[in-house]
Structure 1
Amino acid sequence: MDPWRRQVSLARATVAWSALSTAVGLPLAVRTDPWWRAFGRQQVGWAAVDVGVVVVAGALRRRRMRRSGNPYAPAVLARERRTLRRVLLVNAAADAAYVAGGAWLWRASPDAPARAGAGAGIAVQGAFLCVHDTVQALRG
């Protein structure tokens, strides 16, 4: 598989997830219930960060392609595939930590609904990203 096109495909999936997170999160972020408001704000916040990551990753990808001489040379493609897999695995590990931290915050805050809602929001976002990054890394 072409690692350059795959990165564009991964970016599109992340932007789609961000759009969904924003669509779900915005109406929740303005609710009066502190749990749902915090949950919604997490969805919108993570969506903004994810889009920012996509923008930066796209700029870095274009720069690597320009600097490689021939971005479709076999050695360049092999290196890019290895790098992409490594990045996805590191991201998946970080995502798992987000899930654990969010779940802990959610469960440890029964008397603080805003903190519990934020924890639930972090866990949801981390879970999606963990599954996405892990599946993509295992695809090779």
Structure 2
Amino acid sequence: MMDPWLRQRALSRVTVGWCVLSTVVGLPLAARGDAFWRAFGRQQVGWAAVDAGVVVVADALRRRRMRRGNPYAPATLQRERRTLRRVLAANAVADALYVAGGVWLWRASPDRPGRAGAGAGIVVQGAFLCVHDTFHALRA
């Protein structure tokens, strides 16, 4: 049976890795002169910052919940699994909406490279998060 506490830690590690990759790719692009790539890079760095903040808050909340009573009591484990699945499923839906919004922004802005680049950046981030959240929701 899946340990929800370990699954949450694994989620955090993967997300932090994605944040590092997004920042490493995004910073040089954000410094470019080309408006499309500059906006794309800024999206990567911005999403990395937000995702890192989510990891910090989620980890703090996880640690707090683990301090309440016995974190490995069957009822606690069942509740954590159910909550984790629900949160990840809701996130996956939101991620799909981010992708759709990014595609719209990208395609609706052929004469505005900055907006198109921002849209493309949203698509990349939303797509990763959608796959990430869906995968972990199914495993939870």
TM-score range, shorter chain: over 0.9
The aligned residue for residue 64 of structure 2 is: 63
Per the TM alignment, residue 19 of structure 1 is displaced from its structure 2 partner at its CA by 0.3
The aligned residue for residue 89 of structure 2 is: 89
Post-superposition, which runs of at least 4 consecutive aligned residues in structure 1 deviate over 6 A? none
Distance 2:111 2:14 in 1: 36
Distance 2:23 2:38 in 1: 13
Q: How many residues align?
A: 139
Distance 1:62 1:137 in 2: 20
Q: What whole-Å deviation, never above 9, does each CA across 1:25-61 have from its counterpart, x for those lacking one?
A: 0000000000000000000000000000000000110
Residue 112 of structure 1 aligns to which amino acid in structure 2?
R
The aligned residue for residue 40 of structure 1 is: 41
The aligned residue for residue 17 of structure 2 is: 16
Q: CA RMSD for the aligned pairs? A: 0.5
The aligned residue for residue 3 of structure 2 is: 2
Name the % identity.
80
Structure 2: tracts of 5 or more residues without a match: none
The aligned residue for residue 118 of structure 2 is: 118
Distance 2:8 2:35 in 1: 37
Per the TM alignment, residue 65 of structure 1 is displaced from its structure 2 partner at its CA by 1.0
Structure 1: tracts of 5 or more residues without a match: none
Distance 2:67 2:114 in 1: 46
Distance 2:53 2:97 in 1: 20
Look up the SS of the partner of 2:119 in the other structure: helix
Say whether residues 1:138 and 2:138 are aligned partners. yes
Residue 30 of structure 1 aligns to which amino acid in structure 2?
A
Distance 2:36 2:80 in 1: 42
Distance 1:127 1:49 in 2: 16
